[in-house]
Structure 1
């Protein structure tokens, strides 16, 4: 109701503009982190697939889709599913994953960036999976994956979907083609995987670093 009184509108992501439809000038000001990208020491198991979910395990994550993705991958290769985080639906997530035949590894909550990176370095993909009715264009877990150089399996539309597609950060998940997605994940060439890890960190520095945040503000005030 008060947007009309603003001299300038800042939006966290471009997706929010679809709901706001501001009739005046606006600036996309992505949330940012001061943390520098972590050194990558990937040690990927070629005989299995390691996936990880990081963050709060609550009612907006799409546990059903996470299970279906895992089921499709398990059919092709042995799969380990790492969990970093807690939340009210964690027991259900673990139960659904166990039912797929994947090995579930619960790391609990990890605040130490080095400990978190040790998990990322052994994982092929981080999951960024939210229910389709939730209006979200970006997530903080995406930045964690970017800092750690971990490619994403993403179901979030808007800004994140565009970044994944444009900068080769992993795969946007189409619920209708999960078997095809599993084939791509399980038969990925090592050099492709390495490129995606580097791409994640490049995108973080370009769009979500503290330097970029303040540069955007300076440009607005110039």
Structure 2
């Protein structure tokens, strides 16, 4: 019987109550479809910058040295070693007829497995989750950008090689799919599958606290890292602090990361406007989010990110979104009336967006609530949107079981 391998470097949690895309795929294929599924991931947690603590015979941790900063040469070296060691492990253990579902990044590993596919003859499914390291481009200075161009070109070509050799292409956004489907061999299908969420279970979670009708609480939730435009939020609060006090607004930063020190310093300076909360378990995290009023989806200008986990978490929790992402999600926000867009890095644009969204909320909270519910049902329900992947896997698995 053929095995299914899910390969994702950045997956930390594997319970059924996590939002992670690949954990969900792993659990669905294993529990709901009764397949023989194995998971391969790094031993190093990108989020906590520590060793993962996972004990499951179906999950293999590949040793990775790790790094302290996301934008660093040490991270590149660490990822390269992970890719080589994962390739060596899979080369030894994957058999002809197996199915590999591989997350990009890692571009290096995806390319190596594309080469291995020609020797092993397994079914190769590539899922473009992010275009790292290009996503780091906006936060690099001009000189580093120029010097890095050859390396960015090399990583992009690695991804293209993987796509040229896959049997099914998945992508986290329509843009990612459209950017890569031209590299596919004739007859190979592609699907954009958004991050989505297990909306049935998450709907049942109650808010941690009741909302205050007089106060509006805005939250930035998730990793407090360099990819997010936290500086603009803090500068805006400092510039318009008196207005926010008059309007009875509060800003909550709910998470941990490299920029945490900056948030804590601002909270000490503006204790009546800014609060910091440490990240908790996912279910408690959603419960706390449901106590807030507005979610802030703030990314650096020119980022390659199209959709984010935090935007899904906000919407699942019933929060309209202040969004700086351009492209697909920006269009979704506008067309579905689930929030307000603003220009990244522009404090005046963000302030105007806050004024608009708070006016809308105070006039009719149910208007956003209804729009968000419609959007979730049509766009984010994992029970529906992941079907193209599961149907493909089951068809391949059924064919492999047929007698010759």
TM-score, length of structure 2 as denominator length? 0.48
| Structure-1 separation of matches of 2:181 and 2:242 | 43
Long gaps (5+) in structure 1: none
2:275 is paired with a residue of what secondary structure? Answer: strand
| Structure-1 separation of matches of 2:323 and 2:177 | 21
Bigger Cα displacement from structure 2, 59-68 vs 195-204: 195-204
Q: Cα offset for 1:101? A: 6.9
* Alignment of 1:134 onto 2:303: yes
Name the structure 2 match of 1:26.
Answer: 190
| Structure-1 separation of matches of 2:351 and 2:266 | 18
Name the structure 1 match of 2:290.
Answer: 120
Q: Cα offset for 1:164? A: 0.7
* Aligned partner of 2:350 among 152, 175, 178: 178
1:51 is paired with a residue of what secondary structure? Answer: strand
Matched residue count: 221
* Alignment of 1:110 onto 2:280: yes
Pairs within 5 Å for 1:15-94: 15-17=175-177, 19-20=179-180, 22-24=182-184, 25-36=189-200, 37-38=202-203, 43-70=210-237, 71-72=239-240, 75-76=243-244, 77-94=247-264
Name the structure 1 match of 2:374.
Answer: 202
Q: Cα offset for 1:142? A: 1.3
Bigger Cα displacement from structure 2, 157-166 vs 22-31: 22-31
Name the structure 1 match of 2:57.
Answer: none
Aligned 8 A contact 2:318 2:372 in 1: yes
| Structure-1 separation of matches of 2:241 and 2:190 | 42
Aligned 8 A contact 2:181 2:190 in 1: no
Distance 1:96 1:22, change over 3 A: farther
Name the structure 2 match of 1:11.
Answer: 171
* Alignment of 1:162 onto 2:334: no
Cα deviation code 1:86-139 (max 9, x no counterpart): 112111123346556752222211225356424433x22111101013210011
| Higher Rg | 2
Q: Cα offset for 1:13? A: 0.5
Bigger Cα displacement from structure 2, 102-111 vs 35-44: 35-44
Distance 1:199 1:32, change over 3 A: same
Q: Cα offset for 1:68? A: 4.2
Bigger Cα displacement from structure 2, 82-91 vs 169-178: 169-178
Name the structure 2 match of 1:211.
Answer: 383
Distance 1:17 1:216, change over 3 A: closer
Which gives a bigger RCO, structure 1 or 2 (Cα 8 Å, sep 6+)?
1
Aligned 8 A contact 1:9 1:26 in 2: yes
| Structure-2 separation of matches of 1:31 and 1:161 | 16
Root mean square deviation, CA, Å: 3.0
Q: Cα offset for 1:2? A: 3.1
| Structure-2 separation of matches of 1:47 and 1:189 | 11
Bigger Cα displacement from structure 2, 136-145 vs 39-48: 39-48
Q: Cα offset for 1:220? A: 6.7
TM-score, length of structure 1 as denominator length? 0.81
Q: Cα offset for 1:9? A: 2.2
Cα deviation code 1:138-165 (max 9, x no counterpart): 1111111121111111111222111111
